[in-house]
Structure 1
Amino acid sequence: MSAANSVPPPPGIYVPAVVFFDENEELDIPAIKAHVLRLAQGGVTGILVQGSNGEAQHLSHDEREKAIRITRETLDENGFQNVLVIAGTGGQSTKETKKLCVDAKEAGASHALVLTPGVWPTQMTKERILKFYRDVADASPIPIMIYNFPVVTAGLNLDSDIIALLGEHPNIVGTKLSCADVGKLNRLTSSLPASKFAAFPGSSSVFLQGLVVGSAGIIGALPNVAPKAHAELYRLWKEGNLAEAQKLQALLGHADWELQKLGSIAGIKAVVSKHFGYGSTNVRGPLTPRDLEAAGPSASAKLEELIAFEKSL
């Protein structure tokens, strides 16, 4: 793709989909397809394959490419050609990251989301971070986005100055801020034009707050559970119904917090398999499955309320 054609993903709701495994920790293709289809039917704008929720670091290159391809094919076969597939392509070296971007394009992704390498955090100076992203963007056949998630990059937290500098590159078209820093988000939305750079918060707990300061929507874990509820909040916001949007945002914020306490990836799988009838709770070690019954009803009271609302839509 030439830089002239590099455009950000359109505004909307994006979900870093969990990837389901069977009891041998192998890809559970029917469950992956069922999940992709429910998300698309729920109104998401795009599906992020191999975000942190997709256990990217637990998959081989072949498995990563296969998961992207299955997602794209499932969407196309069911009439959801307009739903985007974004691929997480973060590697620990520039060379590996470039290769993952090429693989992602070949498997059907329109954009790549790239984590900052975090094995050697003390060596990741501002200059090296800038060079890493620019080198990847120069080589990538699809537009890339910067994925700022300090929890999984040994605490490296890119500030708005670095991200804004990178946003000037013609093939860098957006960011996912899993730091959930609304101030940073606002500085980026007010510094870079939305037609060139899409800034997304990475948490449903600041979905509405992000929209108020100009975000492009959400790329968050909770839409794995309740895509329709997120589409409903987005609709309320666009209609100018702030009072109802605030009520729904409060529910999303509480449910998102419960999901985090349930262990996020394992929690999502446990909730989805219990309430939507597909997939198992299997994760790849060293992660361990989550037992919702053992956690007790109070651990997921707001999640249960959100799921009831989701099923009413």
Structure 2
Amino acid sequence: MSVAKNLPPPPGIYVPAVVFFDENEELDIPSIKAHVLRLAQGGVTGILVQGSNGEAQHLSHDERKETIRLTRATLDENGFQDVLVIAGTGGQSTKETKKLCVDAKEAGASHALVLTPGVWPTQMTKERILKFHRDVADASPIPTMIYNFPVVTAGLNLDSDVIAALGEHPNIVGTKLSCADVGKLHRLTSTLPASKFATFPGSSSVFLQGLVSGSAGIIAALPNVAPKVHRQLYRLWNEGNLVEAQNLQALLGHADWELQKLGSIAGIKAIVSKHFGYGNTNVRGPLTPQDLEAAAPSASSKLDELIVLEKFL
């Protein structure tokens, strides 16, 4: 799907897709393609390649570019040209991040999602954070978005003032708030026009709460497991059916919490490979695979309920 220059991605469901590896920790191309296709068939608006769930920091630059290209090609070959590909382009230097944005454009991404460098957190003053994101946006051939995820940036947590200031840049068109701060989200949606800046929560546990506060949808890990259920909640919200949407949100909130306790990335791969007929549990070290059979039986009761609903829809 082509997006006009400097426009945010359209509202909807976006999923930071996991990337599958074989037993030698090399890219498992058939499983990656199968996953992309199931997500598209599940009704997602776009796929984020190399979000944190995509193990971006575990990939070489060539692998990062290849997974973007493979995702775009898989969508196009199967009639999903309208599904966007967003690329995570976070690097630990401004120069590297600029290069990753160029690579993303060449491989078929429409937008870049940029993490704040976190190796030197005490050096990352407000002024340096603003300069980093503006310098990257100035150089990027595709619109950029601010990725706020304190867990993977040494605790750096951009406040709404910083993100709003960055949102004034003509090539910065949105944010993913994996801090799951709905107050911050609402301050941004009530400050920056949705036509210029898309604000997404980064957790299914606050999907409906984000919509109530003016979000553009969601970019979250749980749609790796259940894209159709997320699409169903989004439909209920758009139809004004708040009671049913609240009930579905309760399921998503519980299931998302159970997924976190299973280890998120490794947990997603284990669930997908067990329940959807493709993929495997391989991750790149230092991560380790998740054994669902060894998990407590009660640890996935809501996830099991979610999977049953996903297969029904």
TM bucket normalised to smaller: over 0.9
User: Paired residue for 1:27?
Assistant: 27
Does residue 1:230 correspond to 2:230, yes or no?
A: yes
User: Paired residue for 2:157?
Assistant: 157
Q: How large is the Cα RMSD of the aligned pairs?
A: 0.6
Amino acid in the other structure paired with 1:25: E
What pairs with 1:96-115 in structure 2 (closer than 5 Å)?
Answer: 96-115=96-115
Amino acid in the other structure paired with 2:165: L
User: Paired residue for 2:261?
Assistant: 261
What pairs with 1:86-105 in structure 2 (closer than 5 Å)?
Answer: 86-105=86-105
User: Paired residue for 2:274?
Assistant: 274
SS in structure 1 at match of 2:132: helix
Q: Residue deviations 1:53-90, cap 9 Å, x none? A: 00000000000000000000000000000000000000
SS in structure 1 at match of 2:260: helix
1:99 and 1:182 mapped to 2: Cα distance? 32
What pairs with 1:1-313 in structure 2 (closer than 5 Å)?
Answer: 5-313=5-313
1:116 and 1:291 mapped to 2: Cα distance? 33
Q: Residue deviations 1:76-110, cap 9 Å, x none? A: 00000000000000000000000000000000000
1:204 and 1:118 mapped to 2: Cα distance? 25
Amino acid in the other structure paired with 1:14: Y
Amino acid in the other structure paired with 2:14: Y
Amino acid in the other structure paired with 2:205: S
1:300 and 1:22 mapped to 2: Cα distance? 26
Q: CA deviation at 1:299?
A: 1.0
1:248 and 1:59 mapped to 2: Cα distance? 35
- Asked whether the equivalents of residues 101 and 140 of structure 2 are also in contact (C-alpha less than 8 Å), the reply is yes
Amino acid in the other structure paired with 2:279: G
Q: CA deviation at 1:5?
A: 2.2
SS in structure 1 at match of 2:35: helix
Q: CA deviation at 1:297?
A: 1.9
Amino acid in the other structure paired with 1:222: L
Amino acid in the other structure paired with 1:6: N
SS in structure 2 at match of 1:47: strand
1:5 and 1:304 mapped to 2: Cα distance? 42
SS in structure 2 at match of 1:5: coil
Gaps of 5+ in 1: none
Amino acid in the other structure paired with 2:63: E
2:226 and 2:274 mapped to 1: Cα distance? 14
1:46 and 1:91 mapped to 2: Cα distance? 22
Q: CA deviation at 1:296?
A: 2.6
1:55 and 1:299 mapped to 2: Cα distance? 24
- Asked whether the equivalents of residues 5 and 142 of structure 2 are also in contact (C-alpha less than 8 Å), the reply is no
1:168 and 1:250 mapped to 2: Cα distance? 35
Amino acid in the other structure paired with 2:294: A
2:41 and 2:5 mapped to 1: Cα distance? 29
Count of residues in Structure 1 that have an aligned counterpart in Structure 2: 310
SS in structure 1 at match of 2:81: coil
SS in structure 2 at match of 1:73: helix
Amino acid in the other structure paired with 2:245: A
Amino acid in the other structure paired with 1:35: H
2:306 and 2:296 mapped to 1: Cα distance? 17
1:151 and 1:115 mapped to 2: Cα distance? 11
Q: CA deviation at 1:261?
A: 0.4
SS in structure 1 at match of 2:112: strand
1:140 and 1:293 mapped to 2: Cα distance? 45
Q: CA deviation at 1:204?
A: 0.1
SS in structure 2 at match of 1:169: coil
Q: Residue deviations 1:134-164, cap 9 Å, x none? A: 0000000000000000000000000000000
Q: Residue deviations 1:139-197, cap 9 Å, x none? A: 00000000000000000000000000000000000000000000000000000000000
2:28 and 2:59 mapped to 1: Cα distance? 13
Q: CA deviation at 1:239?
A: 0.1
Q: CA deviation at 1:284?
A: 0.1
Amino acid in the other structure paired with 1:295: A
Q: Which runs of 4+ in 1 moved over 6 A?
A: none
- Asked whether the equivalents of residues 68 and 85 of structure 2 are also in contact (C-alpha less than 8 Å), the reply is yes
